[in-house]
Amino acid sequence: MRMLETTTQTAPKHLAAWIFGALFLGLAAVVPLQAQEDTEAIPELSGLWDGSPRSRPINGPNMPWTSENFPVLNERGLAFREVFDEAISPKYDCVPSTPPALVYDPYMMEVVQWPDRVLLRYEKDDQLRTVWLDGREPTPQDYSLQGVSVGHYKDGALHVTTTHFTFDVTGFDDYNGIPSSQLKKITERYWREGEELKVTLTVEDELFLREPVSFTTQWKPGLEGYQLQAYECDAEIARYPVKFLVPKYR
């Protein structure tokens, strides 16, 4: 009788342990699968990327804007472009370029992926863009030359939205004389196709553009062992070519 009581008393404990073990094994099977699904949604973008003519056409008179995708300017944009004089371009004072020109310029780029941010480091102008993945909202105090970039991963791609730019007389690009305003909005989608890194970039700016405009470009993996070179713009040297430019106005 004593043995029967012992068996009866311990049975629930064994049953509870069995149920707990089954639940634990079930969770162990589910968690790795969920983690794998999350990992697969995040593309491997980190590395050094070559944006030189080895990867894509070199900047021409209009590139990356061609007759098929050249921006449609409103009257204000046309007027600014008409009066633009190359000598006033901020690049001759070592002012860095911004997206979209910064993204297409034929230089190397390094991408670093962290849990809460993605770093885009450009050889051109020694610029660093931070894409925040923590869902933050820019504030009115956050306006800057490169704006504020927030992003998320979706369907194996990095989606980036950048706003809060300051006015820039060559903020659309530094070779077509098109400005950008505080309303400029850049959306980018980065993804991998084999060994290549691709991006589709769209520009919106109601102050100067009649409609959004886009281009798609690519990078190839950087040569093994290559490290980003310092741009080291010297203001005096950068200003030197201006004396040889033919001015529009005297």
Tell me the per-residue pLDDT of 145-163, one tens digit each, with 9 for 90 and over: 999 999 999 999 999 999 9
Residues 218 and 102 in one domain: yes
d(CA 215, CA 69): 7
For residue 41, the model assigns a pLDDT of 86
Do residues 113 and 23 both lie within one domain? no
> Does 237 fall in a domain?
yes
Percent of the chain residues past pLDDT 90, beyond the cut: 72
Lowest mean pLDDT of 6-10, 85-89, 98-102, 125-129, name the range. 6-10
Whether 69 is in a domain gets the answer yes
Domain match, 30 and 85 both? no
Please tell me whether residues 181 and 206 are part of one structural domain: yes
Q: What is the pLDDT of residue 45?
A: 98
Q: Is residue 40 part of a domain?
A: no
Q: What local confidence, expressed as pLDDT, does residue 138 receive?
A: 95
- Does residue 228 belong to any structural domain of this protein? no
- Residue 250 in any domain: the answer is no
pLDDT digits 0-9 by tens, 14-68: 444 444 444 433 433 333 323 334 555 899 999 999 999 989 876 666 778 988 8
* 179 and 211 co-located in one domain: yes
Whether residues 26 and 107 fall in one domain: no
Residue 121 inside a domain? The answer is yes
**What average pLDDT does range 80-99 have in this prediction?**
94
Distances (CA, A) of 136 to 116, 139, 155: 11, 9, 21
pLDDT tens readout for residues 172-231: 987 889 999 999 999 999 999 999 999 999 999 999 999 999 999 999 999 999 999 999
In a domain, 119, yes or no: yes
- Domain region containing 17: 1-34
Dihedrals phi, psi of 17, to nearest 5 degrees = -65, -40
Model confidence, pTM: 0.82
The tally of domains found in the chain comes to: 2
Q: Are strands 148-154 and 127-132 parallel, antiparallel or unpaired?
A: parallel
Both 138 and 74 in one domain: the answer is yes
